[in-house]
Structure 1
Amino acid sequence: ELVDRMVNATKNLDYEGIFVYTRGNNMDVMQILHKRDENGEREKLLTLTGHAREIIRNNDTVTCIFPDKQEVMVERSRTQGFTSRIPETIDLIAAYYDFSTIGEERVAGRDAWVVKITPKDEFRYGYQLWIDKQNYLLLKSEMQDDEGTSLETVMFTELQLLDSIEDERFLPSISGNEFTWHQFNQHVALDENNQGANYAWQVAWIPDGFRQNSPGDRISSNTDSSMDHMIFTDGISTVSIFIERLNNVNPINNGALNMGGVNVYSTTTGNFQVTAIGEVPQPTVIRMADSVVSNR
């Protein structure tokens, strides 16, 4: 019930705040604006430290602006930050995680319940959530490995609930018209197994409970490059699969890489490079990437 109330509060209340996002040795401080009205859910994230980044979510459409790289990416996805740690529905993930309230603490000067989410298998990570006692907002989340070691932490340092937020505050501060744009274009429907039957690629092995969150996408840009993209989720953890034709320009960088709670693995199949990126243990992304087969 606590987590159900948190899901509802975090998605439906209007608020703004500052949070710290820590992964490995990296730390970002970000500002968040969140609003829900008759037009749906909107969110804006701004990095206050490190490389400039602006992320604007309008319901399921996310626009990421990278001024330093002069790039803009438009996709259908859950954005980074607090909402990426909100389970989609408790019923969906209850078969694969156990929930328990383990104590009370204070975060950002507010009293919170502490809820532990423990995976039932080795293919996903666990989580710990700090839920505001007064309004049920998520104040802090922590991704943990099977030994309870923190892999990634997102924590509010300032939080303010608002009666309303002006629409203008959700507009991008940079137009990005002169930037390189990368667009995720839907081009296939899902079959009864939640995979694209007519799609060029299929992931032959996925952990129990994971499903394809969206049909296969073709990422195109206003340059000549493109790649295929699939997203899989169990309702709280996400894995992305990218498939790109090899060329003689870019070097092949196969192998595994760890970045806090995110694992990356690249391999080749035929004339294509397959890369899996996920908030799951390394063996999971390796097994998924190695199972990618062509439907051609």
Structure 2
Amino acid sequence: MAEAKRSLNYEASFIISKPGSDPQPYLWRHGVSEDGIEMEHLDQQNGPGREVVRIGNNVSYFESHRPAYTLASGYILGPLPHVLLNEPMSLLDAYEFVVVGKGRISGRAAQQIRMVSKDKSRFGYNLWLDHKTGLPLKINMMDIKGQKIEQIQITTLDVTDTPSAFFERIDTNALPEVVQLPDSKENKQNWQLGFVPVGMEQVKHSVRQLPENGGPLEYIMISDGLVDVSVYLQRATATASESDIVARFGSDIYYSRVQGSVLVTVIGKIPASTANALASSITLVQ
């Protein structure tokens, strides 16, 4: 799958379906130039639009609500799970990959593969890969009860010998300049997670001051490369709810609870039980 995603010339249409939201259609193009440079284009088809163009390790974002900009990156920030598509072997610590059987997706023969969280702390996935090319045809996210909660479905796929003519029309000199991001500032970590799901690790940490003397807000992100989970910590106030607050928005959980003197909020595509385990494991850094 990873080799096919990087090396083939193709154009695909796909739809993302989430509970409570209208299906979102996308156009996805990929090509490799004569010089061996990867080119990619992702276009959101509904609404005000969002287009992304990647040429090598530069990704340019064009959105209606902000000026265009370019980031130095080898992948597009978007709905496609880039680690799964580009580095599936890196997920072996967190998931078991099980070959299930064969099927047919959008008129193409497909191999079905099931991804199962090794410690049952995350949702699972059902993948269907094109039998001929290895490209993904469908990705279903499944909750702990086996119910589908999110889907990426390829509707058309055209694999060609040469890149799409779309890439010939791109003037690379006219693309926005690369934004130079400031170096991240290291902050003292006051809180730590006593529980981290198998295969996940802390990838971000920051502290910022809330307005009107709201005190510090500490932020921790953990990830397995496929799922990112954000944990926010701030001083609990007298108005904070004594009961846990749990809400689900599509495949995302919002979980908030008071743990001692701190209000912990966990957000991510995980079961509520995992969010509870994360929030309950918060301790002061010794």
Aligned equivalents of 1:290, 1:60: Cα separation in 2: 40
Structure 1 CA distance for aligned equivalents of residues 115 and 39 of structure 2 = 27
The offset of 1:71, in angstroms, is 8.2
Query: Which residue number corresponds to residue 49 of structure 1?
Result: 46
Residue correspondence of structure 1 range 211-230 to structure 2 within 5 A: 211-212=201-202, 214-216=203-205, 229-230=219-220
Deviations 1:85-125 (A, max 9, x none): 71664444334433222222222222111111222322011
Distance 1:44 1:278, change over 3 A: farther
**CA deviation digits over 1:38-65, x for unaligned, max 9?**
7865544322124534455677887766
| Match runs of 1:76-225 below 5 Å | 79-84=77-82, 86=84, 89-162=87-160, 163-165=162-164, 166=167, 169=170, 186-188=184-186, 198-199=188-189, 202-212=192-202, 214-216=203-205
Q: Are the counterparts in 1 of residues 119 and 198 from structure 2 also a CA contact under 8 Å?
A: no
Scaled by the length of structure 1, what TM-score is found? 0.68
How far apart in 2 are the matches of 1:49 and 1:235?
Answer: 28
Measured in 2, the distance between the counterparts of 1:267 and 1:61 equals 41
User: Closer, same or farther in 2 for the Cα pair 1:96/1:215, shift >3 Å?
Assistant: closer
User: After superposition, what is the alpha-carbon deviation per residue over 1:3-36, rounded to whole angstroms, capped at 9, x for unaligned?
Assistant: xxx1222244333221100111322111223345
Secondary structure of residue in 1 paired with 2:145: coil
Moved more, 75-84 or 24-33: 75-84
Partner AA of 2:24 in structure 1: D
Query: 1:79, 1:279 → 2: CA distance?
Result: 17
Letter in 2 for 1:145: D
1:204-244 deviations in Å (ceiling 9; x for gaps):
321121013x343579xxxxxx9765432224333233567
Indicate whether 1:236 and 2:234 are aligned. no
- Give the CA RMSD over aligned residues: 4.5
2:12 — aligned with what?
Answer: 17
Alpha-carbon deviation of 1:145? Answer: 1.8
- 2:122 alignment partner AA: R
Deviates more, 1:234-243 or 1:52-61: 52-61
Deviations 1:139-182 (A, max 9, x none): 110011233211111011122234235276598x998xxxxx9x
Q: Which runs of 5+ in 2 are unaligned?
A: 209-215
Separation in 2, partners of 1:43, 1:273: 42
Identical aligned residues as a percent = 23
- What letter corresponds to residue 8 of structure 1 in structure 2? E
For structure 1, the 5+ residue unaligned runs are 1-5, 176-180, 189-195, 220-225
Q: Specify the alignment match of 2:213 in structure 1.
A: none
2:30 corresponds to 1:34: yes
Aligned to 2:211: none
Partner of 1:265: 255
**Whose Rg is larger?**
2
> How many angstroms apart in 2 are the aligned matches of 1:44 and 1:110?
23
Separation of aligned partners in 2, 1:36 and 1:115: 27
Q: 1:73 to 1:231 in 2, by over 3 A?
A: farther
2:204/2:222 contact within 8 Å kept: no
Mapped pair 1:282 → 2:272: yes
Cα gap change, 1:185 to 1:108, in 2 (>3 Å): farther
> So what's the TM-score if we normalise by structure 2?
0.70
